Amino acid sequence: MTDASATQPNPSSQLRDIWNQFRTHKGALFGLITLGILILAVLIGPYLWVPEKLTVAEAIKLKNQGPSLRFPLGTDQLGRDMLSRMLLAGRVSLAVGLVAMVIAIVFGTFIGILAGYFRRLDGPLMRLTDMFLALPLIPLLLVMVMLFRDRIAGMIGPELGAFTLIVFAIGITSWMATARIVRGEVLTLKEREYVLAARSIGAKPNRIILRHILPNVVSPVMVAATLGVAEAIITESVLSFLGLGFPPDFPTWGRLLFDGLQYMQVYPERVVWPGLAISLTVLSVNYIGDGLRDALDPRIRGR
Partner 1 sequence: MLTFTLRRLLLAIPTLLVISLVIFLLVDLAPGSPMAEIPLTVPPDVRQKMIEALGADQPVFVRYFLWLRQFFWVEPASLIDGWFGTTLAEGEQRILSWQSRSPVFTIIGQRLPQTLTVIGTAYLVGILIAVPIGIYSAYRQYSWFDQAGTLFAMIGFSVPTFFSGTLLIIVFAVWLGWFPTKYDTQLVVNDWASFVKQIKQMAMPVMTLGLANAAAISRYMRSSMLDNMGMDYVRTARAKGMSERTVVLKHVLRNSLIPVVTVIALGIPAIFGGAIITENLFGVNGIGAALIGAIHANDLPMVQTLAFIFAVLIVLFNLIADILYGLLDPRIRYD
Partner 2 sequence: MKLRAALMGAVAVLGIAPAAFAERGTDGEVKLTFPQAVSIMNPYLSGGTKDIYASSMVLEPLAGLDPNGVLIPKLVTEIPTLENGGISEDRTSITWKLLPDLKWSDGTPVTADDAVFTWQYCTHPEGGCSQATKYEGVASVEAVDPQTIKVTFNGPKANPYTAFVSALSPILQKKQFEACLGAAAPTCTDANNMPIGTGPFKVTGFTVNDTVTLAANENYRDPAKPAFATAVIKGGGDAEGSARAVMETGEFDYAWNTQIPPDTQASMLAAGKGQFVVAFGTLVERLETNTTDPDPALPEGERSTAKHPHPILSDIRVRTALSKAIDRSILVEVGYGAGGKPTCNVIPGPEGWASDNDGCIAQDMEGAKALLDEAGWKDSDGDGVRDKDGKKLKLLYQTTVNPIRQDFQALIKDWWTELGVEVELKAIDPGVFFGGDPGSPDTFQKFYADIEMYANNSESPDPESYLGQYQCKNAPTPETQWQGENINRFCNPEYDALYATMATTTDLAARQEIAKKLNDMVTKDSMIVIPLVHRGTLSAHSNTLGGVQINAWDSEMWNVADWFRVK
- Contact positions vs partner 2 (CB under 8 A): 55-57, 59-60, 63-64, 77-78, 80, 142, 146, 150, 154, 158, 240-244, 247-249, 259, 262-263, 265-267
Q: Using CB under 8 A, which of the segments 65-73, 138-146, 151-159, 165-173 binds partner 1?
A: 138-146
Which one, 61 or 299, has the nearer CB to partner 1? Answer: 299
Question: Of 5, 10, 77, 219, which one interacts with partner 1 (CB under 8 A)?
Answer: 219
Rounded Cα distance, 230 and 254, in Å: 10
Helix (H, G, I), strand (E, B), or coil: what is residue 69? coil
Task: Please report, as a single letter, which amino acid is at residue 121.
Answer: L
Rounded Cα distance, 208 and 301, in Å: 21
Cβ distance 111 to 129 under 8 Å? Answer: yes
Interaction of residue 119 with partner 1, rule CB under 8 A = yes
Nearest C-alpha neighbor of 165 from the set 147, 180, 178, 192: 147
Which one, 91 or 180, has the nearer CB to partner 1? Answer: 180
Cβ distance 116 to 190 under 8 Å? Answer: yes
Nearest C-alpha neighbor of 232 from the set 180, 284, 175: 175
Contact positions vs partner 1 (CB under 8 A) = 27, 119, 123, 126-127, 129-131, 133-136, 138-140, 142-143, 146, 176-177, 180-181, 184-185, 187-188, 191-192, 216, 219-220, 222-223, 226-227, 230-231, 233-234, 237, 254, 257-258, 261, 264-265, 271, 275, 278-279, 281-283, 286, 293, 297, 299-300
